[in-house]
Amino acid sequence: MSPEWKKLLNIIVLGFGFMFMFTAFQTCGNIEQTVILSLNSTEFHGSGYTSLAIIYGVFSASNIFAPSVVAVLGARLSLFISGLFYSAYIATFIQPFTWSFYTASVFIGMAAAVLWTAQGNCLTVNSKENTIGRNSGIFWALLQCSLFFGNLFIYIIWHGEARITDSDRRTVFISLTVVSLVGTFLFFLIRNVDSMENNSDCSDSDSRSLEINMIPQSAGSKALEAFKKSAKLSISKEMLLLSISMAYTGVELTFFSGVYGTCIGAMKQFGNEAKGLIGLSGIFIGIGEILGGGLFGLLDKWNRYGRNPVVLLGLAVHFIAFYLIFFNIPGDAPIASADGTDRISFMTPNKEVAMLCSFLLGLGDSCFNTQLISILGSLFSESSAPAFAIFKFVQSICAAVAFFYSNYLLLEWQLLILVIFGFFGTISFFFVEWNAATVSHSSDFSNCQPTN
């Protein structure tokens, strides 16, 4: 098998590993609050929302040291160990205790930072300038399949259920733990690939991504070098501009993964179908994510037009979705009581329009994320671990802030924040892409000049 096919196979294995892991984890996240409310035990006093706040808070802070961990352990081992923590978090629901639930929340926050840093590093090491867009799309499409399978699971299993029994809970979470472990062990199938440019591989990523000297270094010196590179990279002009785009992905992640589903479930006009529509909405979001990832990855031959058209498409798709949501969903839906809301916005609430908006939210999200992954892997190929750590730091901290204000702001104000961040995030991405294209063309022109 040629090195190029080995690299592509590594990307596919990476994608399937994440697909299995996040099918389990995202399903767990979607149903955990319902499960907690259905617990018969009076000794458990945990909250799914508190757990989410802990995870995102620790996640954002842990991105500071995540590149150092990946530098010491390598990408493959980092992926595996992080996957074990994800599985442990899910397993806490088999026999839940408050202390184990919140402790696992802290550890999974740290593991998430290492996981996503290692993912970006592994993706970059197994890609070249002309394949990074394709590989980003393939990975993203496989990852987002988890949204489809997980929410389909919710829609089928929990449809019409008023209460979850202890037996049902154990059966479901044992199954999810096994699924997560399958994805975790898939990471061991990632093969070492010698790079022609720098003789590096995914499991020994520090030689390319972190620019570690060829002289053998101690674990401490590798970690310190990675931290220095992260600090230096975070204040570069390109990274500061891209941080606005990253911030937008964090804010809109909160909206489509938490707020929008809550709005749909609070609609009394949808009748008894409202709760079931939450899972169906997630399925349509997943379809949009998968379509976008597959389209912009497999059709990366159109890359001669650059990344800007794809990001512009994502902004247009999201603006259409925000406009329709504004007209279809009443303003108090995000903060409605447990009884829901019977208010009507500017049109009679329509389930088909609500599902269309779910699809558009997923499609637009895939546009931004695939292109951000692509441009980070292209611009910072020699420092991929720090670059992706910064990406996840900005994204997660903005998601945490958005989760906080979503408990208080009406829908129209949340949509306005999304529009502002989306507009300026797109403009800042344009500037970075234009500058990257200019540098690339100048380099190509210089290489074509005759030498004496």
Show the 3-state SS of 65-99: CHHHHHHHHCHHHHHHHHHHHHHHHHHCCCCCCHH
Q: Given the structure tokens 């595996």, which residue do they identify?
A: 80
Q: What is the mean pLDDT of residues 426-441?
A: 79
Q: Which residue has the higher pLDDT, 168 or 110?
A: 110
Q: Which residue has the higher pLDDT, 218 or 65?
A: 65
Residues 237-295 have pLDDT tens digits of: 888 888 899 999 989 988 887 788 778 877 777 776 666 677 788 888 888 888 887 77
Residues 420-429 have pLDDT tens digits of: 999 999 999 9
Backbone angles phi, psi at 130, to 5 degrees: -90, 0
Indicate if the pLDDT at residue 418 is higher than 90: yes
pLDDT at residue 257 in the model:
77
- Rounded to whole angstroms, the Cα distance separating 352 from 378 reads 39
Q: What percent of the chain has pLDDT over 70?
A: 77
- Rounded to whole angstroms, the Cα distance separating 209 from 384 reads 5
Residue type, 153: F
How sure is the predictor about 71, in pLDDT bands with cuts at 50, 70 and 90? Answer: confident
Q: Contact at 8 Å (CB) between 306 and 149?
A: no
pLDDT at residue 274 in the model:
67
Name the packing angle between helices 308-328 and 351-379 (round to 10°). 150
Q: What is the mean pLDDT of residues 88-100?
A: 86
- Rounded to whole angstroms, the Cα distance separating 208 from 126 reads 11
pTM of the model: 0.73
